[in-house]
Amino acid sequence: MKTYRIALYPGDGIGPEVVDQAVRVLDAVQARHGFQLDYVRLPWGFDYWREHGRVVPEDFLDVLRPFDAILLGAVGWPATLPDHVTLAPLVKIRQTFEQYACIRPAKLLPGVKSVLVGKGPAEIDFVVLRENSEGEYVDSGSRFRQGQDDEVALQTAIHTRRGVERILRFGFEMARKRRKRLTMITKSNAQRFAYTLWDDLLELVKPDYPDVSADKLHCDAAAMDFVRRPERFDVVVASNLFGDLLTDLGGVIGGGLGLAPSTNTNPERKYPSMFEPVHGSAPDIAGQGIANPVAQVLSAAMMLEWLGEDAGATTIRRAVEQTLAAGKHTPDLGGALTTSQMGDALVQACGG
């Protein structure tokens, strides 16, 4: 039987609650589809910080390296610890493990209402591909004269030809398997160095994919069109920051952040890839047992697909679709199911 080593990094807030349900669902499909997942649960995050003074151990990258995949919940407990401290290991994992392709589908499922009036599943089905390894999230900058009236802060974005070209090519390949339309998001009218590189590279790469129609939008116009006419989008390629921003919007359009999954993919498979919901740790509802586990469960399905367990992934996706279409919802979608009751429903729909 094929066995995979999975690192579970549940993190903070609702992270552990939704990861528990994803593990139950994964357990329901693994025996049925003839594979085995060996989990190691890593107790990292805010609680680890309280005990050790840091959110992850010093050698956390070495700990993660041998795994086949990482299933992450959520990070952040901002009331006590600044978010940039809890987020730092995540960004480091993405960059060190060259997880440059962050795949974030925005797909409205039957049985779920979008916040967009008059738009249904036929209109809302696109994927945002977020460049995940460089751009605005590189750890480069400084603060001078901190705390003084004349303080100066510098934050440097780095966009490389290699980094931009590879995410564009990844996007074109993805568009080829979908509706053959790619939209690149920049702000090259205002940021005339970094984003004109993106513009140049789109023109360079486009001729290699004559079967895909490609265009570009500035990020502000894209935000407007996500709301106004989401049906115009198929594959959207954006930088790290713009992709981060647009995928919260995409998640909400697709029914809510409780449903929005995500990958951090190393396409070359040199390092483990990481799978996480788009949402964060939601401290306001943590511990109440009402978080929606679907985004985490769909992230687990994306993990199975990445591992080559397509049948297992399909079983999970169908279970989610059936469960939502049957009106079984958590409170974020207007339902009354608790996190674990939603887990029960999904396990049952998986045949478990």
Q: In this structure, is the dihedral angle defined by the CA atoms of residues 228, 234, 238 and 243, taken in order, positive or negative?
A: positive
Least distance (Å) from ligand GGG to the CB of residue 10? Answer: 10
Q: What is the Cβ-side half-sphere exposure of residue 62, based on CA atoms within 13 angstroms?
A: 3
Closest approach, Cβ 78 to ligand GGG, in A, equals 10
The smaller minimum CB distance to ligand GGG, of residues 84 and 229, is found at 84
Shortest Cβ distance from residue 217 to ligand GGG (Å)?
A: 21
Residue 68 CA neighbour count, 13 Å, CB half: 16
**Subset of 195-234 contacting ligand GGG (CB under 6 A):** none
- Site for ligand GGG contains 93 (CB under 6 A): no
| Residue whose CB is less far from ligand GGG, 172 or 276 | 276
Question: Whole-number minimum distance, CB 131 to ligand GGG, in Å?
Answer: 12
Per-residue x/- marks for ligand GGG, 56-75, CB under 6 A?
----------------x-xx
Residues that contact ligand GGG, how many (by CB under 6 A): 11
SS (H, E, C) the chain: CEEEEEEEEEECCCHHHHHHHHHHHHHHHHCCCCEEEEEEECCCCHHHHHHHCCCCCCCHHHHHCCCCEEEEEECCCCCCCCHHHHHHHHHHHHHHCCCCEEEEEEECCCCCCCCCCCCCCCCCEEEEEEECCCECCCCCEEEECCCCCCCEEEECCECCHHHHHHHHHHHHHHHHCCCCEEEEEECCCCCCCHHHHHHHHHHHHHHHCCCCEEEEEEHHHHHHHHHHCHHHCCEEEECHHHHHHHHHHHHHHCCCHHHCEEEEECCCCCCCEEEEECCCCCCCCCCCCCCCCHHHHHHHHHHHHHHCCHHHHHHHHHHHHHHHHCCCCCHHHCCCCCHHHHHHHHHHHCCC
Q: How far is the CB of 280 from ligand GGG (least distance, A)?
A: 4
Q: How far is the CB of 86 from ligand GGG (least distance, A)?
A: 8
Amino acid sitting at position 237: V
Residue bearing tokens 């045949």: 351
Which residue of 105, 277, 312, 343 would you call a contact of ligand GGG, by CB under 6 A? Answer: 277
* 276 near ligand GGG, rule: CB under 6 A: yes
Instruction: Work out whether 297 is an interface residue with ligand GGG (CB under 6 A).
Output: no
Give the shortest CB-320-to-ligand GGG separation in angstroms.
Answer: 18
Nearer to ligand GGG, 188 or 264 (CB): 264
- Does position 281 interact with ligand GGG (CB under 6 A)? The reply is yes
Joined tokens for residue 256: 């809510």
Among 251, 280, 312, 343, contact with ligand GGG (rule: CB under 6 A): 280
Binding status of residue 19 toward ligand GGG by CB under 6 A: no
The residue among 209 and 275 lying less far from ligand GGG, judged by its C-beta, is: 275
Shorter beta-carbon distance to ligand GGG: residue 87 or 249: 87
CB nearer to ligand GGG: pick between 16 and 277: 277
Between 214 and 274, name the residue whose CB sits nearer to ligand GGG: 274
Q: x/- binding map, residues 133-152, to ligand GGG, per CB under 6 A?
A: --------------------
- Which stretches of the chain bind ligand GGG, using CB under 6 A? 72, 74-76, 87, 244, 276-277, 279-281
